[in-house]
Amino acid sequence: MCSVVGYVGHRQSCSLILDGLSRLEYRGYDSSGFACIDTQTRHLGCTKAVGRLSNLVQLLQKEPINGNVGIGHTRWSTHGIPSERNAHPHFDCHKKMAVVHNGIIENYQILKAALQGEGHLFSSDTDTEVIVHVFEQEYAQTESAKEAVLRTVEQLQGAYACVLILEDQPDKLIGIRKSSPLCVGRGKNEMFIASDVLAFSGQVEEVAFFPQETFAFVAADAVEAYDFLGNPVSLFFEKLDALWITAEKEGHEHFMLKEIYEQKSAIYKTVASCSSLGASLWEKSGISSDAMKAIKRIKIIGCGTSWHAGRIAEFFFEETTGISTTAALASEFRYRTFFPESDTLYIAISQSGETADTLEVVRMLRQHGQTVLALTNVASSTLVRECGGFLLTQAGPEMAVASTKAFTTQIAALYWLSQRIAYERGKITQEAFEHAQDALLVAGEFLENGIDSYKHQIFEKLASFYANFETFIFLGRHISYPFALEAALKLKEIAYVFSQAYPAGELKHGPLALVDDQTPVCIFSHPDPAIYQKILSNAQEVASRKGRILSFSFEGQKELQTLSEHSFIFPTIHPHLSVIAMTGVMQILMYAIAKARGCEIDRPRNLAKSVTVE
Ligand code: F6R
C-alpha cells in the first residue's frame, strides 16, 4: 500500500521524511514524492520520482528543498499508472496546498467531473487529487480549515489516511483518517504523522493512533483533534515498543531469510505469551469462560497466508474441541448472505491487523453484535482496537512482504487456543493441555532441524534445478492441503512461478491432465497412516504419468520416498503439528528458487505488505 509521512518541527523535514519513507517502502514502491514549505520562499516546493525511493533521494540530493514542515509519500498504484504525474503529493489549482494519501476515494470520478465543471484544473489520473481540490473549494468558501475538512470528508467516499499541507498555515499539518491507519509520533517540540509507527525510526518515544473518522491539526508542540462531526477528541499517546522500530537484516541477505530462521524462537515466544495469560485469557479475548463453553461454531476470517493459517486451524478446532469450524476469505465473506448466530465465535486473523478486507468484515460482524476475537501480530493495530478481544502472536516485526514467521506463529497460537478451549470444555485434561504446549515447542525444533538438515542440498542443488520450471502443482490432503495452498502462494509471490495447489484427491477429477515431465508435482504427505495411503495412491497416479515428484514425507514413508525425484523426510509428529515441522524447509526451498531466478524476494513486484484498501 501507499505510505504517508509528515513532519513538523525545528529540524529539516526532508531527510526525516525520506528516512521514514524508506522504512515504509515495503508497503508500496512504484513512485514517490516530497513537498515542504521552503524556508526561503515560504512557498511549497515539491520533487517526485518514478521507481524506487532511492531515485527521489538522488533528486533531492542534487536539488534540496529546505523546510521544517513537509510531507512525503511512496505509492503503490491503484488509480493511474506509476508515473511522475501520478506520484503524490497532489496540489490544488494554485499550488498553495498539497496532499499525500493512502486509500481509495471511491467516488472520485463524480467529484472530479463536478470540480472540473467549476473550473478546477487536474494534473493527474489519480483518485487522490480530488481530495485537495474539494478541500480547496471548501476552504475558499468557509475560510476555516476545520470547516473545510468537515465539508470535505462529507463528500469523500472510501477509505483514506491523508496529510494536507497549506502554505497559509505553515506551522501545522492536517491529518485525516477514515478506515486506513494513521498515527502521530510526538518528539521534543516536533511531531511526525505516518501510516505506520515504523516511520518514526527511533525519532520519537510516544505515539497516538488516529481513531476511526477523525482529523487533527498537528503542530510542533500540540495536536488538536476532532471527529467527523466536529467534536473535539483526545488522542491517547502511548510508549513505542523499541523492537518495532529497529528491525534490521542482521547479516542476512534478505529479511525473508532472517524471518524464516526466527521461527523457532517466535513460536516459543508465542506459546509463552499465550500460556502466561492464565485465566485472564477469557477477559482479554472478550469472551467469558461460560460463553466459551456454549460456543457451537467457530468461523475464522482472514486473507492470504492468514486465511491459510485459518484453514489449517479448522482441523485443530474440529478435532480437538469438537466445535464445527470454517475459515472464510474476508473478501468473499463480506459479500455473501450473512446469518447472525449468537453461539458463534469469530476469529479475525491478520498479521498486520490493518488488512482492509478483514477489518470491514469485523466491522460488519460487530454491527450485528457478534463476538469477534482478533488474532494479530501488532498490538497497536486497528484490528485490536476494533474487536471485542484479542490474542497476540509474538513474531516480532515481519518486514519481508511474504509472510513466514507470522504464519507459523498464527498456527501455534491457534493450536494453543484449540487446546485451551478443549481443556476449558472438559475435553482434555490439564496434563494433556500441558503436553500439547510442549509439543508445539518440539514442532518448532523440528522446523529448525529441517532447515539445518536440508539447506545445503536446497541452495547447492535443488534450487537451481527447480528454478527452471515455469509451473508447479502442489498436492496435500487433510491438513496438508491448506499447507499446500500456502506453499503455492509463496512460490507465486516471491519466484513469480505459476503454481496451483489441489487437494490430492481431486487430481483424478481433472488436474491429472496437467501432469507431464515439465511440471514438478510437490506432494505434502501426512503422518496418519490412513491418509498417507491415499496420498501414496495419488503419488502413484502422478508417477505413472511421468510426473516429477518432490515430496515432503515422514519417517517410514518409504514408498512415497522411492517414487520421488527428491524427498525431504521429517520425524513423525502429531498430524496437527506436522505442518509446522514442514514449514521451514518449504519456505527455504521457495526462497532459494526465487533467489536462483534472480527475483527481488523481500519486495516482490506488484505486492505490498499491508493491504489497507479493499
Ligand atoms: C503472503 C502474505 C499475504 C498476507 C495477506 C493478509 O505471504 O503475506 O497473503 O497474508 O495480505 O495480511 P494480514 O495477515 O496482515 O492481514
For 491-500, how does the pLDDT look when each residue is reduced to its tens digit (9 = 90+)?
999 999 999 9
* CA separation for the pair 72, 74 (Å, rounded): 7
Tens-digit pLDDT profile for residues 185-235: 999 999 999 998 888 867 888 989 898 899 999 999 999 999 999 999 998
* 348 in Cβ contact with 358 (< 8 Å): yes
Whether 123 shows a pLDDT value over 60: the answer reads: yes
Q: What is the pLDDT of residue 244?
A: 60
State the DSSP code for 342: T
- Give the pLDDT band of residue 242 (cuts 50, 70, 90): low
Backbone angles phi, psi at 468, to 5 degrees: -85, -10
Let me know how many helices (H) and strands (E) the chain has, helices first: 20, 25
Beta bridge partner(s), residue 35 = 46, 71
| Shared fold status for 3-244 and 453-614 | no
Before 89, cis peptide (omega within 30)? yes
Q: What is the pLDDT of residue 250?
A: 81
Which residue's CA is the nearest one to ligand 1's atom 16?
350
Please give the distance, rounded to the nearest whole angstrom, from the Cα atom of residue 1 to the centre of ligand 1: 12
Whether 243 shows a pLDDT value over 60: the answer reads: no
Whether 454 shows a pLDDT value over 60: the answer reads: yes
Tens-digit pLDDT profile for residues 360-405: 999 999 999 999 999 999 988 889 989 989 999 999 989 899 999 9
Nearest to 580 by CA among 455, 479, 473: 479
* 375 in Cβ contact with 347 (< 8 Å): yes
What's the whole-number mean pLDDT along residues 90-96?
Answer: 96
Tens-digit pLDDT profile for residues 309-364: 999 999 999 999 999 999 999 999 999 999 999 899 999 999 999 999 999 999 99
- Closest-lying ligand 1 atom to the alpha carbon of residue 490: 7
* CA separation for the pair 384, 406 (Å, rounded): 16
Please give the distance, rounded to the nearest whole angstrom, from the Cα atom of residue 610 to the centre of ligand 1: 7
Mutation probe of ligand 1 site: the residue of 256, 300, 354, 355 with most atoms within 8 A of C-beta: 355
> What cell numbers appear for 259 in the block?
524471518
CA distances from 269 to 264, 275, 287 (A): 9, 10, 23
The 3-class secondary structure across 446-474, one letter per residue, is HHHHHHHHHHHHHHHHHHHHHCCCCEEEE
Q: Which residues line ligand 1 (CB under 6 A)?
A: 303-306, 350-352, 355, 358, 402-403, 489, 493, 611
Task: Tell me whether residue 461 is one of the annotated catalytic residues.
Answer: no
* 194 in Cβ contact with 228 (< 8 Å): no
Q: CA 400, 404, 408 angle in degrees (round to 5)?
A: 150
Other beta carbons within 10 angstroms of residue 247's beta carbon come to 17
Whether 251 shows a pLDDT value over 90: the answer reads: no
* 541 in Cβ contact with 527 (< 8 Å): no
3.40.50.10490, 3.40.50.720, 1.10.1670.10, 3.50.50.60: CATH of 250-428 = 3.40.50.10490
Other beta carbons within 10 angstroms of residue 586's beta carbon come to 25
* CA separation for the pair 356, 566 (Å, rounded): 40
Grouping H, G, I as helix, E, B as strand and the rest as coil, residue 308 is: helix
Looking at CATH, the fold of the domain delimited by 453-614 is given as Rossmann fold (3.40.50)
* 184 in Cβ contact with 191 (< 8 Å): yes
Q: What is the pLDDT of residue 129?
A: 97
Tens-digit pLDDT profile for residues 34-89: 999 999 999 999 999 998 899 999 999 999 999 999 999 998 777 778 888 999 99
* CA separation for the pair 300, 311 (Å, rounded): 8
Q: CA 549 from chain center: how many Å?
A: 32
The active-site residue out of 2, 14, 387, 522 is: 2
Task: Tell me whether residue 609 is one of the annotated catalytic residues.
Answer: yes
- Closest-lying ligand 1 atom to the alpha carbon of residue 402: 7
Buried b / exposed e along 55-66 (16+ C-beta atoms within 10 A): ebbeebeeeebe
What type of residue is 182? L
User: Could you state, in order of their start, the residue ranges of all structural domains in the chain?
Assistant: 3-244, 250-428, 453-614
Whether 606 shows a pLDDT value over 90: the answer reads: no
- Give the pLDDT band of residue 246 (cuts 50, 70, 90): low
* pTM to 2 decimal places: 0.79
Across the chain, mean pLDDT equals 94
Domain 3-244: CATH architecture, name and number where available: 4-Layer Sandwich (3.60)
* CA separation for the pair 535, 560 (Å, rounded): 8
Whether 90 shows a pLDDT value over 80: the answer reads: yes
Nearest to 311 by CA among 533, 523, 576, 552: 576
Please give the distance, rounded to the nearest whole angstrom, from the Cα atom of residue 538 to the centre of ligand 1: 30
Tens-digit pLDDT profile for residues 262-313: 999 999 999 999 999 988 898 888 888 899 999 999 999 999 999 999 999 9
Q: Point out the least confidently predicted range of 71-85, 114-128, 448-462.
A: 71-85
